[in-house]
Amino acid sequence: MERKKIRELGVVVGQLPSGPKNCLTDVKGVHVGHVTLYHPLTNADNEWACTGVTAILPHEQNIFQNKVVAASYVFNGFGKSTGLVQMNELGRLESPIMLTNTFAIPAVTQGTLEYLLEQNPEIGETTGTVNIVVGECNDSYLNSIRMMSVKPKHAKEAIRIASTEKVTEGAVGAGTGMVCFGYKGGIGCSSRLVVDDGEQGAYTVGCLVLSNFGTQDDLYMYNRFIDTEGKSEVVKNNEDAQTDGSIMIVLATDAPVNERQLQRIAKRCGIGLGRTGSHMSHGSGDIVIAFSTSQTLPHFSSDKKEHQFLFREDRHMMNMLFCAAAEATEEAILNSLTSAKTTYGRKGRAVKEFPLNHLRS
């Protein structure tokens, strides 16, 4: 059966409508780029590069010069991300959000730094340094992670080719070697439209996940869209794979919210994650990085005050944004499963694609 997004297979998640592309780039101005590394390594026997980099840009302007409101939320902190401490302290995003494998964090950080230094000669000279945000999952079951195939140039390339087009999902970019619920996982996206009480039209909430967590038992026992009768037909694969895994969730919106409100919205991604069957294991890094494109905030300004337009939290809109975050996260995770194809990697290992006939509409 052809690999498709779950909605194209007749399964509708939640009550809110999706955006036209049903992905992160439905939020106007957001760019996504993938660099995929998938090839045998000639300098080692039976070793493979099965990995990559995914770049998320909040807009097409100079990100350091034109920051956006941002926040993160950590459900379980078994992860090796960079940049979240300062981002949460100041509530600002000033670099692309980069996703990759665990051991590629230094290379991707370096590549992203080189990109920003080329754009901004004043960094480290006439102004301060820059805070780079990178998230990771462990793809070492399929990828020869110790060979460190990802280089700084791959991070810069992912940023360079990022576009506002519909995002490619499944075993691509940072998701190339990831495993989700014992099946092939990786990149998944979804979006939701939220109407502002008829006053200012609709706002968009978009979600991109890097899924690399869970077991088949979790999926078949707890997921409401999976036919439990199909479990008896499943021959488990990946018995040696790490079952705790991780997930990186990137949430974007054009709704006018500040960093505290954005973190409240980010917390609701955990509801969508739990609905898929996750219980956030001991060794799982479950992290949300969220940003709002409603306005940009200049790095240089002579003003002593900063003005922001925000939703009042006692209005229905906040509840709808919470709902959108939960729904988009759940659907994005399911899309990462239904979009990914069977993938072969190191030591002759294979991770099978999720059997689409086990879906329950």
Confidence of residue 44 (pLDDT cuts 50, 70, 90): confident
Q: Which amino acid is at 254?
A: D
The pLDDT of residue 265: 98
The single residue of 144, 190, 246, 294 carrying the catalytic annotation is 246
The single residue of 190, 211, 281, 284 carrying the catalytic annotation is 284
Q: Is 278 in the active site?
A: no
Does residue 102 contact residue 51 with C-beta atoms inside 8 Å? no
The burial class, CB within 10 Å (0-12 / 13-18 / 19+), for 59 is middle
The fraction of the chain above a pLDDT of 70, given in percent, is 96
Does residue 187 contact residue 169 with C-beta atoms inside 8 Å? yes
Which H or E run contains 333?
A: helix 316-339
For residue 49, give the nearest of 187, 210, 177 by alpha carbon. 177
Q: Is 286 in the active site?
A: yes
Q: How far is CA 315 from CA 196, 234, 265, 271, 318, in A?
A: 10, 47, 14, 21, 6
Confidence of residue 206 (pLDDT cuts 50, 70, 90): very high
Q: Is 361 in the active site?
A: no
The single residue of 286, 292, 294, 336 carrying the catalytic annotation is 286
Mean pLDDT value across residues 309-319? 81
Lowest average pLDDT, out of 56-60, 89-93, 147-151, 237-241, goes to 237-241
The fraction of the chain above a pLDDT of 90, given in percent, is 82
What would the pLDDT profile of 279-294 be if each residue is shown by its tens digit?
888 888 999 999 999 9
Q: Domains of the chain by range and CATH? A: 6-338 (3.60.70.12)
The pLDDT of residue 310: 77
CA–CA distance, 15 with 226 (Å, rounded to integer): 19
Q: Is 103 left (phi over 0), alpha (psi -120 to 50) or beta?
A: alpha
What would the pLDDT profile of 209-245 be if each residue is shown by its tens digit?
999 999 999 999 999 999 887 777 776 665 555 557 8
Confidence of residue 198 (pLDDT cuts 50, 70, 90): low
Mean pLDDT value across residues 38-50? 91
Q: Taking 70 as the threshold, does the pLDDT of residue 80 lie above it?
A: yes
Instruction: Give the distance from CA 238 to its chain's centroid.
Output: 23
